[in-house]
Each structure stands twice: as structure tokens, then as C-alpha cells.
A = this chain, B = another copy of it.
Amino acid sequence: MSDASIGVGVLGYAFMGRAHSSAYRRLPQVATGLPLRPRLVAIAGRDTRSVAAAASRFGYERYVTDWRELISDPEIQLFDNCGPNGLHAEPTCAAAEAGKHVLCEKPLARNADEALSMWRAAERAGVQHLCGFNYRFVPAVRLARQVLEAGDIGEIHHFRASYLQEWGATTERLWRFDRETAGSGALGDLGAHVIDLARYLVGEVEEVSALVRTFQPDRAVDDAFVAVASLAGGALATFEATRLAPGRKNSLRWEINGSRGSLGFDLERPNVLLRSRGECGFTERLVTEPDDPFMSWWWPPGHVIGWEHTFVHEIEHFLGAIAGRNTVAPHAATFEDGYRVAEVCDAIERSAASGRREVVVYR
């Protein structure tokens, strides 16, 4: 492992803040030849007691209650934004402008305009930037990408994906239901993952036709959307996300059909890649072999990993980019990718409103 370290400042201590913090802590123990040793400098949150407890639990040197203190902290070189969507743009741009490398959770922003400004800010500042589409770092997903890059599936005809959850009928008041804070509902929260995987695995989204729905009374954001799309290269795609699918806890499923075979995946069974070579049906491959992506870090074949491990893989990749060992793209999403997904989300909302097939214009 390198002796060099990098100071990390994280905004947010809830769900994502916890997941990222855990990954930073684990990295030195698992990644062979880690390019930079993360030093957990500070974590930011508004509630003093909670952020103090989080800092203590996760091992941060200090906590702050104003994210601006992270920006001005010279010991922090990596700013990791795990805050709610409405708090993505301003702190992230500020961090980039202060010369810090920036990792921002998905969706990158509440809309494409905001996302574009973030991408431009990061580029202008010349810092490394990564948007947290962590499912690219599921070993089975990375393996799928390798199979696709090798051309083993042939010309791609279909991508179909849905992200189904069931908790949306809750009467709790969550920031995820607030339009100002969240930007959108299932579309940005779940659909963004679907769109990112379409782009990562198959190709750019060119046109979309969509319906967006709010089923729950008094809900300010969408509960669900459905869309059809054409992808660069000619494939047809279906995208769907909902928070109202009883029995589906966290079911991000996709299937790709090509001229020479098919691939399939379900996040409720993340260690499995389904593959068909045509007429023999689908093979359930447990992606836990030592030469499967990332698996040399972990356990012997058949000893499965979980959802949280994606963050370990993702952050190691980002540290590699910061250290100059690899580039963020194509395996991680850059802010450009985050912006492009936002353009597709915006086009989906436009299509739902206009009733027309909308061309996705990337600026």
C-alpha cells in the first residue's frame, strides 16, 4: 500500500454517509496496493449531537456543522457529498473550485441544468469527479460489461430494466418526497440507476417516450415512471421505476438481448450474473471466483458479498484516478455521466408532459 494519504471530508452522516464511511474504513484492509490511504478528516451535518456521534462511530478526526468548513479545510483533498439532492450542487461546486476532488452521490443534481453546472465547475477546476452510480461496481455488472466489450453477446437489440421498491406508501415525511430537496421521486432516485446502467452497458440514450405518475395523495414528487427508449446503436429499451411494488424490496433487474446471447441481473441476488448463449437457456453464475472483478479482495468462491461492497470498489477506483493510476471513466460515472443521466430524466419528464417522443439533447 502506498504511504501517501488523502484527507477526506464527507457531507452527510445518514444512509449514504454511513455507507461511504464504512467503505473508507475498510479499504486499507482489503484493497491490495491501495494507491492512497484515506484519512477521515471530517464529517459534516447540521445536527450537532448526531454528527458528533457519527464522527465518533466512523472514526473521523472531527465533525463540523457547516459544510463550508469542509471546503475551507486545507487537510481535505477529497470532498464526498452524501447529502440530500438539494445539497449537491452548491457544496460540490464550492469544493471543486477550492481544488478538491469531488465525489457526489447520485442523482448528481435535481435536474440537468444543475448537473451541467456541476460538471462544468469540476472540469474548470481540473479536479477528479465521480458520480456515485455504485451499481457499476457490483462484480456481476462489471463482468457483464467485460462480456459485452468482448462482443460475446453480439449486436445488442434489447435492454429492459426496472427498479422496484415497495416502501412508497409510507406516511412518513421524508426529504425524498420534497420536490425542492429531492428534485424528483422514483425517477431520480431509482430511475437514474436504470438509465446509468443502460448507458454503461449498452449505449447512449437517444430518444424517450414516457409516463410519470404520482399515485400517493399529497405527494410532491413522482412515485413511478415508465419509459421506452432507443439507444445508440439501435437497441430498444424499457426503463421503469416505482416505490409501489409490494414484495419487491430493492429489485433492480435488467436483461440484455443480443444477436449471440443474453445477460441478466437482479440486485436482490447481486452475486449472480445470468447468461444465455442462445438455445440452452440461462446459466446462473455466482460471480465470486478469484478472477472475477474485485473478488480477489474478498472471500473464497461461493462466499457472497453484499450491497455495501460496491462502495469499497467505487472509492478505490476513485482513489486510483486521483493518484493517476486510472481514469474515472469509463468504469465509474463522471460528472459528465451524472449530467447525461439527468438529461435523460429531464427528457422523460418532458415526454410525460408533452405526450411526445423527446430527443435527448446533450449540451
**A interface residues, Cβ below 8 angstroms from B:** 1, 15, 19, 21-22, 25-26, 28-30, 57-59, 155, 157-158, 160, 162, 164-167, 169, 209-211, 213, 215, 223-230, 234, 236-238, 240, 242, 244-251, 255, 257-262, 267-272, 276-286, 288-289, 298-309, 351, 355-357
Contact of A302 among B1, B251, B299, B357 (CB under 8 A): B251
The answer to whether A25 and B29 touch (CB under 8 A), given A210-B228, A250-B301, A282-B283, is yes
Contact of A279 among B166, B226, B260, B299 (CB under 8 A): B166
B276 and A247: CB pair below 8 A?
yes
Give 9 CB contacts A-B under 8 Å. A167-B301, A242-B257, A244-B257, A246-B258, A246-B261, A247-B261, A250-B303, A281-B284, A305-B306
Q: Which residue of B lies closest to A249 (CB)?
A: B302
Tally of this chain's copies? 4
Q: Choose among A19, A29, A260, A308 the residue with the greatest number of B CB atoms under 10 Å from its CB.
A: A29
The answer to whether A240 and B238 touch (CB under 8 A), given A250-B302, A301-B250, A303-B307, is yes
Other than A247-B276, A251-B302, give 17 A-B pairs with Cβ distance below 8 A. A22-B26, A157-B245, A166-B278, A211-B236, A225-B236, A228-B228, A242-B257, A244-B259, A247-B257, A247-B277, A250-B288, A268-B271, A268-B302, A268-B304, A270-B304, A283-B284, A303-B306
Bound: A19/B1 CA distance, A: 20
B22 and A300: CB pair below 8 A?
no
A279 and B289: CB pair below 8 A?
yes
